Amino acid sequence: MELHEHLFRREAGRIVATLTRIFGVENLALAEDVTQDAFCRALEVWPFRGVPDNPSAWLMATAKHRAVDVLRRERTARTLAPELGRLLESDEKLAPAVEELFRTDAIKDDQLRMMFSCCHPRLPETAQVALMLHILCGFSVDEVAGAFVSTRAAIEKRLSRAKQTFAGSERLFEIADAPDFAARLPAVHRALYLLFNEGYHGASPESAVRVELCREALRLAALLFEHPLGATPATYALSALMCLLAARLPARLDAAGNLSALADQDRSRWDPELMAEGQLLLDRSATGPELTEYHVEAAIAAVHASAACVEDTNWAQIVSLYDTLMTIRPSPVVALNRAIAVAQREGPDRGLEEIGAIADRDRLATYPFYYAALGELELRRGRGETAREHFRAARALARNSMERQFLEQRVEACAGGD
């Protein structure tokens, strides 16, 4: 029997989440150790006995046995989850109590509980995302560092601080409490979107890493909408957005491995399944009065998905969606994207006019794609020399080698000059 791709990583998240509920938040490290023990066991046994029919169940059952041992040994030495107190009073009660704690329906919500706990309001968003990747997605410190293109030391520091806050939170987030759930849900959406963006726009030069981050964000979002309280229009809209963007991933890099702009992508390589799923989720999001930025961004992505090529795109609709987005979540970057859409519809002169009119335009001064947009529009106006200057400015601001390479090519595209 073949191992499912990333089985251990996925199971690590699931098992740590369940064990943390059982041991209590302050014993996260213990939960991680017990999980590691269960994996070691698998590594000792499976080569001889073969992979079990249900590897996930095998790992969870092994973790359960370890948990019973630990509870037996530690129940007097440690402060365990307070709600366990009564159950741990005697040996006879312990095993059936743990059995109860590992019931399928009980462990089903653990990942969700953990997801919400990671989005603790006292944690900065970047720490929330790192914590999710580490605890819930089973990424090692090195792998998180690789995903964020950061150093091991920096990530280790970020994670250990986050874990301290986490452990100090007394208990896991209680997902049964509807008002609390609704109050923290936007932060969870935000963190998932950040995680996705790290994969989609992030700096990791390895496309495999980026695809994995996007996939993890999609997986966690699915856990969210499978829960009655999590299945909100905003959750569906966010999932729709991520699916529609993820559909483009296969075309984002050209045959030579270079970044390819939306306009130049080979749309036949867009993933039809993800596009269909995104559309379905977008339809589901269209209930109730709530209109979030995810709704609008997903709608924009859906317009792109429905166009066979850049010329066929309904730019009028896209401009109007950006108008809506500017009312919900105004930002110079949104305004810039709107201006680019205007240019597609009404020509580069109008686009440059719109860019000139962006409030807070100075905040774009460090954003490479601001200068890249100016460059594209100038190039389209036939001013190669000016365009080249803009692309050079953009290249100087590139945040990673892929962006640098992409912008370098744009500089070279202006080589003909005026």
Partner 1 sequence: MSEFVFLYRSTDAASRAAMGSPEQMQKSMQTWMAWMKQLADKGHIKDRGHPLERAGKLVKGNKRTITDGPYAEAKDIVGGYTLIEAKDLAQAVELSMGCPILEGGGVVEVRPVLKTGM
Nearer to partner 1, 134 or 304 (CB): 134
Nearer to partner 1, 160 or 366 (CB): 160
Nearer to partner 1, 39 or 173 (CB): 39
CB distance 315 to 341 below 8 Å: yes
Nearer to partner 1, 6 or 72 (CB): 6
- Cα(10)–Cα(136) distance, integer angstroms: 8
User: In the complex, what is the shortest distance from the CB of residue 44 to partner 1, in angstroms, rounded to a whole number?
Assistant: 5
- Within 10 Å of residue 349's Cβ, how many Cβ atoms? 12
User: In the complex, what is the shortest distance from the CB of residue 186 to partner 1, in angstroms, rounded to a whole number?
Assistant: 30
Nearer to partner 1, 139 or 406 (CB): 139
User: In the complex, what is the shortest distance from the CB of residue 309 to partner 1, in angstroms, rounded to a whole number?
Assistant: 39
User: In the complex, what is the shortest distance from the CB of residue 271 to partner 1, in angstroms, rounded to a whole number?
Assistant: 24
User: In the complex, what is the shortest distance from the CB of residue 22 to partner 1, in angstroms, rounded to a whole number?
Assistant: 20
Residue showing tokens 């269960």:
38
Q: For binding to partner 1 (CB under 8 A), which residues are involved?
A: 3, 6-9, 11-12, 36, 39-40, 42-51, 138-140, 142-143
Q: HEC string of the chain?
A: CCCCCCHHHHHHHHHHHHHHHHHCHHHHHHHHHHHHHHHHHHHHHHHHHCCCCCHHHHHHHHHHHHHHHHHHHHCCCCCCCHHHHHHHCCHHHHHHHHHHHCCHHHHHCHHHHHHHHHCCCCCCHHHHHHHHHHHHCCCCHHHHHHHHCCCHHHHHHHHHHHHHHHHCCCCCCCCCCHHHHHHHHHHHHHHHHHHHHHHHCCCCCCHHHHHHHHHHHHHHHHHHHCCCCCCCHHHHHHHHHHHHHHCCHHHHECCCCCECCHHHCCHHHCCHHHHHHHHHHHHHHCCCCCCCHHHHHHHHHHHHHHCCCHHHCCHHHHHHHHHHHHHHCCCHHHHHHHHHHHHHHHCHHHHHHHHHCCCCHHHHCCCHHHHHHHHHHHHHCCCHHHHHHHHHHHHHHCCCHHHHHHHHHHHHHCCCCC
User: In the complex, what is the shortest distance from the CB of residue 255 to partner 1, in angstroms, rounded to a whole number?
Assistant: 28
User: In the complex, what is the shortest distance from the CB of residue 146 to partner 1, in angstroms, rounded to a whole number?
Assistant: 11
User: In the complex, what is the shortest distance from the CB of residue 217 to partner 1, in angstroms, rounded to a whole number?
Assistant: 18
Nearer to partner 1, 37 or 408 (CB): 37
Nearer to partner 1, 101 or 135 (CB): 135
Nearer to partner 1, 53 or 311 (CB): 53
Those residues whose C-beta lies under 8 Å from the C-beta of residue 313, and which sit 6 or more positions away, are: 303, 304, 307, 344
User: In the complex, what is the shortest distance from the CB of residue 58 to partner 1, in angstroms, rounded to a whole number?
Assistant: 12
Nearer to partner 1, 37 or 271 (CB): 37
- Cα(266)–Cα(293) distance, integer angstroms: 27
User: In the complex, what is the shortest distance from the CB of residue 144 to partner 1, in angstroms, rounded to a whole number?
Assistant: 10
Nearer to partner 1, 139 or 294 (CB): 139
Give helix 368-380 / helix 332-346 axis angle, nearest 10°: 10
